[in-house]
Chain A
Amino acid sequence: MVAATATTPAGARPVRAGRRLRLPAWVGTAPFLAYVGLFLLLPTGIIVFNAFRSPSGALNLSSLKLLFSSTTRSYFIGSFQLCLISSAVGAVLGAILAYAIASGNPDGTVRRLYIAVSGVLAQFGGVTLAFAFVVLIGPVGLLTHASWFYTFPWGIAVIYTYFQVPLMVLVFLPAIDGLKVQWREASDSLGSSAWQYWRYVGGPLLAPAFLGAALLLFANALSAFATVVAWENQIAYIVPQQIYVAINSEVGLSNVNQADVLALGMIIMVAIIMTGYAFLQRRAARWLR
């Protein structure tokens, strides 16, 4: 369209440039900014603001004291344990599975089947998943009664791993597909062993993607709520469960400001992990620069 102006023969009426809508550049990003503002920044702001208020509405640090109690610490340790175990196991198993899929026929049925199944199972969580486990290996399980099933974090970590592995496959497979066969061939023809290939070529190439995917899994586990509640709703082990108690308690322990303080704690936890991740990512991708 723009090129038409240049080719207009002399003497003809020039196409007016004004025809083209000229809008400031920010207009294009406005929907995105509005979306992020309403659904991320605003709620975060409300949480932070309320965390610094007492239940009566005064601005002070009385609610924040909760963050430093030993009970609260145990919920954060619980969340951290669960996320770490389920994301580490999920990332390793998922990466191995993704590699196995990638080394198969790229157009084969097996690959398509695995990707389709992973897509479904990565979203399989919540009450349905927990209930399936309870029915199979719970106290009166159809298969067996696994005595560790209600030991935190092992029982719930196994349930989480169920959706972490397929999620890892989905997010990590493109990275493995990016490894060129020629690199392996070059490495082999230069006489390196399989170990040396992974140590000096494949590993460093995949490390940034692996860490990124593992972080995604960690965050995925951190915010999961329905699954853990369906697994165990009589004891709170992790922060989201305790936030639920702080909002809903009918025995006089409900305190929305404390829920906000716990949520703020989770935000800080994510911030620390993101910082650590950014640092690791820089180290892992050092050779790229």
Chain B
Amino acid sequence: MAKLIAAAKKEGTLNVIALPPTWANYGAIISTFEKKYGIKINSANPDGSSQDEVNAVKQENGTAAAPDVLDIGMAVALVNTNLFAPYKVSTWSDIPTAQKSTAGLWYQDYGGYMSVGYSSKFGTITSMSQLLGPKFKGAVALNGNPTEANAALNGVMMASLANGGSAASIAKGVSFFQELKSKGNFDSVQATGATIKAGTTPVVLNWDYLNLPSYVGVSNWKVFIPSGAVLGGYYAQAINKNAPHPAAARLWEEFLYSQAATGGQNLWLAGGARPVEQSAMTSNSSINSADAAKLPAVPGTPVFLTQSQATDAANYLMANWAKAVS
């Protein structure tokens, strides 16, 4: 570890990409790392998508500006593993087996569960079926088009799970939205922080870390995870195999997976994201329990979509989504 720190300090720079400072506490994570190790972080294209990250790795390959490390969605990560260098952080065994590649090419970092965020003017909501009621006219929004945006696809999948569907079939979620649309409750405005503040999207299906009142910045905002529909989604870390700063890249991963009070895992948690080592950290009491208590309760066993389930769901949506809700 001392050797790695020395080598990383010698490189002096780390290139990261697509890390919005307000997202999952990345602003604080970046500044803490810079201060701790005296390594300068170049943060490129902070609002980029996972696909943008992969494109940058390919297009800037061999230059000093190429991204060293990626924080990437699973769908994109799994089809681009040939771009990654294997690496196992020192807390490797605390990452659940299902959430890392055995070769160490990618390892999930933080994530959350699909949730329903809503304005407290509706009182208290506890189930998806309540959203079909007349007081939710034009109120229920997704975060994008489910054939395009992952958060939206999972929103439909959550509706499916809540209506007796399974991870293998998203069909019941599509029928739920069809009913929502026919009742006039579907809100066609894509939910963003701005639309929530403006009140144009008073009910939003989104990842819980994007639905927390502290993240949304609206005080009369509540969030819950529907019982029996706990759907998890995690991002993953990976190192560019041709990273211009290979030691700094590995030190960054060690920092992100550190269980220290100011390590990456607790910093993510402070940003409302659930760090991948949370359950191990809860057992060894290294978790910041005050931050953990702020997250919405998890009523049931989490479901994680496998790659083939996610593909099936996407293909089903491609053929049926527009037809069902237009």
Contacts and interface: CB of A to CB of B under 8 A. Distances in A.
B138 to A, nearest CB: 3
B280 interface: no
Given A139-B139, A140-B200, A236-B147, A253 B188 contact: no
A71 B311 CA distance: 18
A71 B323 contact: yes
A62 interface: no
Interface string A242-278: 0011001111111000000000000000000000000
User: Which of A135, A245, A249, A250 has the largest number of chain B CB atoms within 10 A?
Assistant: A250
Contact of B184 (A71, A147, A235): A147
Contacts of A140: 138, 199-200, 202
A241 B145 CA distance: 10
Interface stretch (B148-156, B216-224, B255-263): B148-156
A71 B322 contact: yes
A251 B75 contact: yes
A150 interface: yes
Interface in B282-326: 310-311, 313-315, 317-319, 321-323, 325-326
B49 A235 contact: no
Interface of chain A, main secondary structure = loop
A145 interface: yes
B228 interface: no
B189 A138 contact: yes
Given A237-B326, A244-B148, A139 B187 contact: yes
Contacts of A74: 322-323
A248 B55 CA distance: 12
B322 A235 contact: yes
A79 to B, nearest CB: 13
Given A250-B51, A253-B148, A234 B138 contact: no
A235 B144 CA distance: 8
B314 A253 contact: yes
B308 to A, nearest CB: 10
Contact of B148 (A147, A150, A237, A248): A248
A264 B291 CA distance: 52
A251 B325 contact: no
Nearest to B143: A234
Interface in B50-108: 50-51, 73, 75-76, 79
A232 B152 CA distance: 14
Given A147-B184, A251-B147, A234 B190 contact: yes
A189 interface: no
Given A147-B184, A234-B142, A251 B200 contact: no
A152 B146 CA distance: 18
Interface of A: 71, 74-75, 134-135, 138-140, 145, 147, 150, 152, 231-237, 241, 244-245, 248-254
11 contacts: A135-B200, A139-B137, A139-B189, A139-B200, A233-B144, A234-B141, A236-B145, A250-B50, A250-B76, A251-B153, A253-B148
For the complex of A and B, list the 5 residue pairs with the smallest distance between their C-beta atoms, beginning with the closest. Answer: A139-B138, A233-B190, A251-B314, A150-B188, A245-B148
